[in-house]
Amino acid sequence: MHRLEGKVALVVGAGSIGPGWGNGKATAVTFARQGAKVFCVDRNKDAAAETASIIAGEGGQAAAFTADVSKAAEVEAMVKACLAAYGRIDVLDNNVGIAEMGSVVDVEEAEWDRVFAVNLKSAYLAMKHVIPVMIGQGGGSIINISSVASIRQVGISYVSYGASKAAMNQMTRTTAVEFAARHVRVNAILPGLMKTPMVEHSAGLAASYAKGDVEEMWKKRDAQVPMGHMGDAFDVANAALFLASDESKYVTGITLLVDGGLTCRS
């Protein structure tokens, strides 16, 4: 039995920055494989279309939409388009994020503002427009993709990223309490060190870990994890599937670690 049969999932950040599987792309495809109709949103038109095409090629239902979700008008248009296509929104997966390297001394004000707009404001705007829809239809599930960097320093300096994700955690908890009685569940996933195209294509991360050597960066990240290896996008997608499904109907306000034991290591 498909775990999301009859549900509509709006996945924000459903594309991938490069070849392979990013968290949003894997989540959109996983949701579709479990019976959901998926509205695939990305600022990159081709990336959103690729994910929707994969879903259609597997016999699922998906539509692609292009939006910069740090902008209120585009988020509002995104929600209206999803409702026009599928009539409801049962699941919202907020899966966008960027990282700028640097401490509070190093990071520029414009970089700080951009990170918070993409990582935090986008989720606020999506929830602002989706929650009334969910209330009107009797409930829904919201999943915010945070990071272990929101709760600990992971060995590299990107304070704006960690701070924006920490704020997302608290926004998740607060919103979960405020709308629990209306049957809108709000949870966050905190991925650890993941092997995804976003990490691979981040020159700043590669520079911070290994002076730009991506293969050496992978080795160092593997060594940080108690399990001995990084996670992949489907580890995040499968956690999101649980939170999207009715199996988690009594779960709200949590920050679910998907990190191979990283945060247990002193």
Known catalytic residues?
161
Sheet holding 91-94, edge to edge: 61-66, 37-42, 8-12, 91-94, 140-145, 184-191, 255-258
Q: What share of the chain is helix, strand, coil (3-state, %, to 5)?
A: 50, 15, 35
Give how far the C-alpha of residue 64 lies from the chain's centroid of Cα atoms, to the nearest Å: 17
Q: Give residue 244's identity as a one-letter amino acid code.
A: A
The tokens describing 83, both together, are 């409702």
Contact of 117 with 168, CB cutoff 8 Å: no
